[in-house]
Amino acid sequence: MSSEVAEKITPKSMTDRSIVVAMSGGVDSSVAAYLLAKTGAQLVGVSMQVWDYKKSCSDNSKATCCSPADFNDARRVAAKLDMPYYVVDFEAYFEREVINRFVETYQLGMTPNPCIDCNSRVKFRELRERALSFGCSHIATGHYARILESADGFHLLRGVDRDKDQSYFLYTCRQDELGKTIFPIGDYTKSQIREIAREVGLVTADKPESQDICFVAGSVQDFVAKIGGRRQRGDFVLKDGTKIGEHEGVHRFTVGQRKGLNIGGLSEPLYVIDLDPSSHRVILGSRDDLKRESFTVREMHWVNPRLIKRIGVGESSFELDIIVQVRSRHHGVRARMKVLDKDTCSFTWHDEWAAISPGQAAVVYDLQNEELLAGGRIAK
């Protein structure tokens, strides 16, 4: 939906209570709500019921966030800030758009990033649509990222706290979405956020950090096996095909992985350098075997307004020096990006290189490593 439509269907009488705040029950979204409430904005707190932990884990208490107990925390924060609060059911939608893709990607021998799917397919579409239904024009989340409005459009920047920056997960945001989204905590560091929460007396102030993947309570591998329902043992092999061991299934591995292989007695450390789901083989090699001179990224999303314009007028085959980040916990390294068409780019490393995992997001930043320009999925 375009922003004009959002504008039109938001009656003037409602403009003073037009922000839906996504609340997980954690400290970040709690403080996000507090910071907005302080500005006098009228807010509507929403928690998204996305996953029934009983489906994947017998022990509900292991849930890392978005459990009923977390919602009660969110409810208490909302009550303290005197804002209405609702739990909204997204389960069927989340299962289809996030969980199923997560499991399938692993089974294809690739590494998924469910947080990106959740943002692009659930938060910035489904939640935004609900917000519009409720008569709210904007959504706010507790992401560590910043949005800067300028004459040519909206720019997505890394959060001030580089250790916590979550812009990587937001590369699918479109201009109309950025224009209707607020990241209230992007200008703060995590310790400042905790400090604010303690000062204000929010019940979530000292809650532990949530884990990487919110819907997985135990190990990712067990989750994939349980939900995916397929377990196929296979061989560990070296590049030349020599079998050196057996494993419990390719879904348990990620390209670049070194730990947890349980193979010893070799002189140099072994890495997963490739996965072959059809033969159930996990191919191992040295760190140098992970090196790719260049790699291709598909399903490109363009975020920076200038690049959107260049792509929009059909310009292709241009090259840019950029910083590319290839995992969520990767600082980003310099590379040359060659735009092949609006959906596809290839990347060539400058001097430093990083191990890449097909399926993961490659996210492009400017050379200051500050503004997110574009992103896509690393091709196999």
Comparing CB distances to other proteins, the nearer of 52 and 321 is 52
CB 356, min distance to other proteins, A: 29
CB 65, min distance to other proteins, A: 14
Query: Contact 83/44 with Cβ under 8 angstroms?
Result: yes
Which residue bears the tokens 């807010």? 43
User: Is 115 annotated in the active site?
Assistant: no
Comparing CB distances to other proteins, the nearer of 88 and 200 is 88
CB 232, min distance to other proteins, A: 31
Q: Which of 57, 65, 115, 118 is catalytic?
A: 118
Query: Contact 106/275 with Cβ under 8 angstroms?
Result: no
CB 57, min distance to other proteins, A: 17
Comparing CB distances to other proteins, the nearer of 177 and 371 is 177
For residues 135 and 42, what is the distance between their CA atoms, to the nearest angstrom?
Answer: 12
Q: Measuring CA to CA, how many Å separate 270 from each of 109, 239, 241, 254, 273?
A: 18, 11, 15, 13, 9
Burial class (CB in 10 A: 0-12, 13-18, 19+), 11: exposed
Comparing CB distances to other proteins, the nearer of 90 and 168 is 90
Which residue ranges make up the site for other proteins (CB under 8 A)?
1-2, 5, 9, 11, 14, 17, 44, 47, 49, 52, 68, 71, 84, 86-89, 91, 93, 97, 121, 125-126, 128-130, 132-135, 176
User: Is 66 annotated in the active site?
Assistant: no
Query: Contact 56/226 with Cβ under 8 angstroms?
Result: yes
Burial class (CB in 10 A: 0-12, 13-18, 19+), 88: middle
Active site residues: 118, 214
